[in-house]
Amino acid sequence: MNITINLNLSEILSKSELRNFVLNILPILQDNGVAPSPEVTTPTPDVEWEYAPKLGKRRNKTEQALHEKEIELGRLLTPEEKGEIDAYAEIDEEKEAKAKEDTKKKVRIDEIAEEANEAAAKELAEEAKQSIEGPDTPDDPEPPVDAVTSSDGINDLEDDGIEDTVMPGEAEATIPKTEEVSTQSLFS
């Protein structure tokens, strides 16, 4: 049979009476095979924390780090310690902001590359379609625009003395198609 009595003896007895009571009862309990279980309590220092949580107010990461350091040291922080912790928190925030910015840049670059690939694929498809159909027929209403002259016939580029390598009536050189190369790789 186990009887548990919860009394706040410190309110009833003085410190010396309480000490005598505990010293008298402890050997009796140990002789009967009953050992009192110690209560685990965290000591609450008589320190008014500067960066403690306040009801209804959110703290930023710097204030949280400062309060963690206050608890770790068990005292208020010196101005030097506050400055050091604040500097580390600021460095962490800058790294996080830079990482976010780099991620946004990478996403934008990927979008631009994807748009360019789609445009190139569309252009290649149009060129393939034109090569299958054959060269332009003389019945085309618009003549081809020369690279040097604009649509209104005015020369856009000054004569720089360099002659075109493609003679009129000759076809431009085309890049030969290549076959797909198969490689055995761990990454494919």
Answer yes or no: is 113 within a domain.
yes
Type of residue at 148? V
CB 83 within 8 A of CB 91: no
Domain interval for residue 24: 10-36+54-132
- Flag whether 183 is in a domain: no
Cα(73)–Cα(42) distance, integer angstroms: 15
Per-residue pLDDT, 41: 45
Q: Does residue 109 fall inside a structural domain?
A: yes
Is residue 123, in this structure, part of any structural domain at all? yes
Residues in the chain predicted with pLDDT less than 50, given as ranges, are: 40-41, 43, 156
Q: Is residue 145 part of a domain?
A: no
Identify whether 178 is part of a domain.
Answer: no
In a domain, 114, yes or no: yes
Q: pLDDT value at position 165? A: 59
Structural domains in the chain (count): 1
Distance CA 125, CA 115 (A): 15
**Residues near 78 by beta carbon (within 8 Å), at least 6 away in sequence:** none
Other CB atoms within a 10 A radius of the CB of residue 51 amount to 20
